Structure 1
Amino acid sequence: MNPLGQCKGSGFVQFSSTDEATEAIKSRKTIRIENWDAELEIKYSETAEVRQQRQERNKNRQRHSPKYGQHQLQYQLLNSSASVVSPIPAFPVLGMSAPFPFFYPRPALSPAASPHIIYSPMVPSPVVPVYPSPPVVFKSKLDLFPSSGDLLFTGVSLTESTLLSLLQCYGKVDSKDIFGDAGAAVRMVDRGLHTIIVQQLNGTIFPDGKMMSVVLYP
């Protein structure tokens, strides 16, 4: 325990003889301390020679470490607004055995001697006329029909009435093109229903035994 009553976790005990110290090391498993369940670690202390060698190793390790080297660097900070004059020889004063440098402030420049830049008079540049270019109109792919994502009906012969009856429960038809016996192409107002229509109408069997195929345009 230290003077503040805090436990350091270790301590030194001096026995009257080496035999008593050896006996304490052998019987460490039977020694118990109140409120301490861990097994005690008892060993011989270092000799003065071993302790001195360990301290020397620690000093050498610190001396070669990068952190220790950083503390040895000395920097001289100089004000950028002051001129540095070489040290002037002087006699020792008040126990000072070496001259010390003097710093003189930089003399202020008079307005006439201040640096200045002469600019040539600005010449106005001629005005260049700007002609507006006609706007370029690009036709969106969605305006083309049929295009990618539209419905393609094949495998059966479809009339307009038959096609509309198949799609009446899915909302309004935006565009349609019937190819006769080759099928038809359809675009719904709500294009988000195209995938649902493919899932529900693809593979529909007609009364004549033909099977209708419904896919999305690639």
Structure 2
Amino acid sequence: MGASAERVVAQLRRDVLGGFFPPGARLTETVLVQRYGTSRVPVREALRALAGEGFVELRPNAGARVAQVPVDDLADLYAVRCVVEEITASRCARRVAAGEAAVVAELTGIVDAGFAALDAGDAVLGAELNSQFHGTVARLSGAHSMTLVLRRVSEQIQWAYATTVPQQGHRAWTEHRRIVAAIATGEEASAGRAMVEHVEASRRGFTRSVGQGVAQGVAQG
């Protein structure tokens, strides 16, 4: 995939996750070419790539549409995320215990930026920083395979969460700060526990919005 197509993939993914193109919206090549300032070839490559990620549906003779949010999959996605992020937070704490204080400094910077976005009322930036926070915890953990898994899972959760749950930014960023504080102690169990509590709070916020079906699925999983 060329650089132009990769740029369109990133921009279109952002527009889908942010709700600019809601579930079911038609994605015509003409509109996308104009919006992203490119040609049809990169747009077609981007649509195929995002279809592979589950964000776009490509139908013969019917064009492209934004896929429906995978609400029915949320129980499994949260279960996976809970396991993966407990490990990544724990490994970050292990690095801190080994003397790598830069881990805490980088995460603190993101949390400070998140609160600033919250104060400014910038929900789009806040959502991006939220993803950056979790992605950075995964990256700093040194677990490359888990970083890839987490990105895919978190994007699907973010998409569902953004389309169904009212903004709960202050709670989320307060919990992020708590996670960083736990990582800063260098205690792996504490860091993992703080992350699990945060993921569980996110799940509860979602299930309050869409009903108890997902909650029951998570409890059984």
TM-score of the pair, normalised by structure 2: 0.17
Find the structure with the greater CA-based Rg: 1
TM-score of the pair, normalised by structure 1: 0.17
Q: Which of the two has greater helix per residue?
A: 2
Q: Which of the two has greater strand per residue?
A: 1
